[in-house]
A and B are shown apart, each in its own frame.
Chain A
Amino acid sequence: EVQLLESGGSLVQPGGSVRLSCAAAGFTLGNYAMNWVRQAPGKAPEWVSYISTSGGNTDYADSVKGRFTISRDNSKNTLYLQMNSLRVEDTAIYYCAKKYYYYMDVWGKGTTVTVSS
């Protein structure tokens, strides 16, 4: 079964850092581009970041550009999101999602990041 499992979410103070991981199972991560999407409480999902199959091409939402870094280790079948200079407004469930053509067909169950003092 194709699955994604996020981990690393926590309670962190404003200005702090967190690294999220997304482990793929049932498929070869390196064959697919990947995305991170977040969802603040009671809000619509928000696309956060994209990475190509090799990792050579990345993109970010303006709201996180310069603070978040997406990366991948295809040998470990794992995707990452390094989140620095965290703000209260970054509080959300963070999902990793597999890109298939021009849509996201498989999503993980998410990991929660809470930014609060």
Chain B
Amino acid sequence: DIVMTQTPVSLSVTPGQPASISCKSSQSLLHGDGRTYLCWYLQKPGQPPQLLIYEVSNRFSGVPDRFSGSGSGTDFTLKISRVEAEDVGIYYCMHSVQHPWTFGQGTKVDIE
């Protein structure tokens, strides 16, 4: 199974400041079709995960442009350009290049 490792475990951010989360996979997430299957979810308290980014850098419908994703192969990053109060929650990376799809352990983001 592919192991997903996120850092940091937690992050406290001042509103309006940037934030960055790293995700590393134990194997390349480049699929044979040429696409890289890494996505990011945000789970707000008491809610299911909600999709933010798919295929490394594509924002899902309705996701604000302050969220951006980058990376390739085994190293990926989620950046929030200016954190807002509504961005608090736990962020998970997840690969979907092969079964079993696996998630990182999560990065908890709160507001200072």
Residues of A within 8 A of B (CB): 35, 44-47, 50, 59, 61-62, 95, 97, 101-105, 107-110
| Given A44-B103, A45-B92, A103-B96: A109 and B55 interface contact (C-beta under 8 Å) | no
Could you say which residues of chain B place their CB within 8 Å of the CB of A103?
37, 39, 51, 54-55, 94, 96
Chain B 73-112: CB-based contact to A (< 8 A → 1; otherwise 0): 0000000000000000000101011011111111000000
Q: Is there contact, CB below 8 Å, between B100 and A61? A: yes
Q: Is there contact, CB below 8 Å, between B48 and A107? A: yes
Q: Is there contact, CB below 8 Å, between B100 and A62? A: yes
Nearest opposing residue in chain A for B53, CB measure: A103
A35 CA / B96 CA spacing, docked (Å): 12
Any chain A CB within 8 A of the CB of B66?
Answer: no
| Given A44-B106, A45-B103, A47-B101: A107 and B92 interface contact (C-beta under 8 Å) | no
Could you say which residues of chain A place their CB within 8 Å of the CB of B96?
102-103
A61 CA / B99 CA spacing, docked (Å): 8
A55 to chain B, nearest CB (A): 16
B46 to chain A, nearest CB (A): 9
Could you say which residues of chain B place their CB within 8 Å of the CB of A47?
99-103
Query: What secondary structure prevails in chain B residues at the interface with A?
Result: loop
Could you say which residues of chain B place their CB within 8 Å of the CB of A110?
48
A102 CA / B106 CA spacing, docked (Å): 20
| Given A102-B37, A103-B54: A50 and B48 interface contact (C-beta under 8 Å) | no
A65 to chain B, nearest CB (A): 10
Any chain A CB within 8 A of the CB of B50?
Answer: yes
B48, B94, B105: the one contacting A109 at CB < 8 Å is B48
A108 CA / B49 CA spacing, docked (Å): 9
A3 CA / B30 CA spacing, docked (Å): 31
Could you say which residues of chain B place their CB within 8 Å of the CB of A62?
100
Could you say which residues of chain A place their CB within 8 Å of the CB of B43?
45
A97 CA / B94 CA spacing, docked (Å): 14
Q: Is there contact, CB below 8 Å, between A104 and B99? A: no
B78 to chain A, nearest CB (A): 15
Could you say which residues of chain B place their CB within 8 Å of the CB of A95?
48
